[in-house]
Amino acid sequence: MQTLLRRIAIYFILIALIVLFSSDVKAIVTPFEIQVFNGATKEIQPYTLISGKRYRLQAVSPDKKVLSAQWFLSGNLGRITTDISTRLTAVFVGEGSLICRVEDVEQRVKLSVVRETKTIGGSGGKIQSPAGVILELPKGALTTEQKIGIEIVAPPELPLTAHRFVRVIQISPKKLVLKRPGRLTFLFGEDGFMDAKPQLFFWEAFGKKWVPLQSSDTAIQGGVSISINHFGVYTMMAAIPDELKRTERLQIQNVKLAPRVFFAPDRHRLTIAYRLNAPDAMQIFVTMDIFNLRGRRVRRLLEEVPLYTGENAAQWDGLTDAGRLIRNGRYLLVIRARTGLQQAIHRKLVVVFK
């Protein structure tokens, strides 16, 4: 009997200790709420943030006091900075957790970063990414509605010698070639260049190299712009560009194809890199066509597109103007350029092998 009573007493003592311990924990824990703000607007969980955008973070007590906290991210999603306030810059698309620690108490909330998207149809349109990139598509650039996305991505390769990356972005769908060229603008934002001149490049996946694109400064917007006829990975690098040796007449120089034989056009794109040179021209208007050997045009890639002296590039997706995949054989690439009273033409053989 005494043994039974002793066991009952121990049991009640244990229950009392558990209750006491639990009450003590509640007494020392400071409950708080994780808040994420887009400007003055409070985001609602689950938190879905846009690549390139900055958000303000707060830990708030039940009586609405902002608490001193430590912030962390799991997953390669972005970066957190602390100046006057704590800010999170969303960077790479993916999922992870936002972690907040107040004293000895830690809370986690799920977080996802998505690309900026907009559906654009045949009438054209404009999409602006918080990553500081604007894409403008004219009427007729797309034959059907497309969901266009812009996001910050990790560079597929190191920058060129004596260059530094400022921003690397991807425009989706990556394999899309436009019927009419669009306008891509990188805004300077908080980037400083000192004496270096920023230049735009795109990643040529087959040759695995950065291809330079001669761009124009947009003083009103504070950035650089180019005409593009294809989507993919683009970057702005800060560098001092090579000086062009001016020619007496307008010339189309250094035309190179990658790959040299356009194989599997259903899976690859043909990159056409070239250099424009002129005595003093600010703008050169370029038309680029693909002909069969009978002289019939099968695809127009560029039509009177304003470009600039220096390195330029376009791509061909292997489709005809009617949207059909090209046949095996030999074709003729014809590039025409004009500025003022001067004109230039360059022809190059293209071999297609499926």
Dump the DSSP string for 167-233. Answer: EEEEEESTT-EEEEEEEEEEE-TT---TTPEEEEEEEETTTTEEEEE--EEETTTTEEEEEEEE-EE
- Is 268 a domain residue? yes
**What tokens were used for 108?**
């986690």
- Is 28 a domain residue? no
| Together in a domain, 91 and 176 | no
DSSP helix/strand/coil, 93:
coil
| Together in a domain, 216 and 299 | no
Give mean pLDDT, residues 141-145.
95
- Is 7 a domain residue? no
| Together in a domain, 221 and 301 | no
Give mean pLDDT, residues 202-206.
92
What is the average pLDDT value for the chain, to the nearest integer? 86
- Is 336 a domain residue? yes
Give mean pLDDT, residues 336-346.
90
| Together in a domain, 152 and 228 | yes
Asked if pLDDT for residue 3 goes beyond 70, the answer is: no
CA proximity to 308, closest of 327, 272, 333, 280? 280
- Amino acid symbol at 247: T
Domain count, the chain: 3
pLDDT of residue 150: 98
Q: Exposed (0-12), middle (13-18) or buried (19+): which is 200, by Cβ within 10 Å?
A: buried
- Is 11 a domain residue? no
CA proximity to 37, closest of 87, 72, 79, 105? 87
- Is 342 a domain residue? yes
Strand partners, 167: 236
| Together in a domain, 106 and 123 | no
Q: Cβ neighbours of residue 26 under 8 Å, at least 6 residues apart?
A: none
| Together in a domain, 268 and 195 | no
47: pLDDT confidence band, cut at 50, 70 and 90? very high
Of 239, 265, 288, the one marking the end of a domain is 239
Of 114, 131, 160, the one marking the end of a domain is 114
4: pLDDT confidence band, cut at 50, 70 and 90? low
CA angle 245–246–252, rounded 5-degree value: 95
| CATH code (residue 47) | 2.60.40.1080
Of 191, 216, 239, the one marking the end of a domain is 239
144: pLDDT confidence band, cut at 50, 70 and 90? very high
CA proximity to 211, closest of 306, 275, 152, 302? 275
Taking CA atoms, 244 is separated from 214, 218, 276, 278, 337, in Å, by 12, 21, 10, 9, 18
DSSP helix/strand/coil, 24:
helix
% of the chain at pLDDT higher than 70: 84
Of 169-183, 204-218, 260-274, 300-314, the range with the lowest mean pLDDT is: 204-218
Q: Which domain holds residue 69?
A: 33-114
Asked if pLDDT for residue 26 goes beyond 70, the answer is: no
| Together in a domain, 141 and 222 | yes
Neighbours of 323 (CB within 10 A): 10
pLDDT of residue 265: 92
pLDDT of residue 334: 96
pLDDT of residue 6: 60
- Is 5 a domain residue? no
219: pLDDT confidence band, cut at 50, 70 and 90? low
| Together in a domain, 69 and 152 | no
pTM: 0.79
CA proximity to 335, closest of 280, 253, 260? 253
| Together in a domain, 224 and 154 | yes
The whole-angstrom separation of Cα 196 and Cα 108 is 43
| Together in a domain, 233 and 255 | no
- Is 12 a domain residue? no
CA proximity to 237, closest of 273, 208, 213, 219? 213
| Together in a domain, 120 and 172 | yes
Of 46-50, 178-182, 185-189, 260-264, the range with the lowest mean pLDDT is: 185-189
| Together in a domain, 228 and 125 | yes
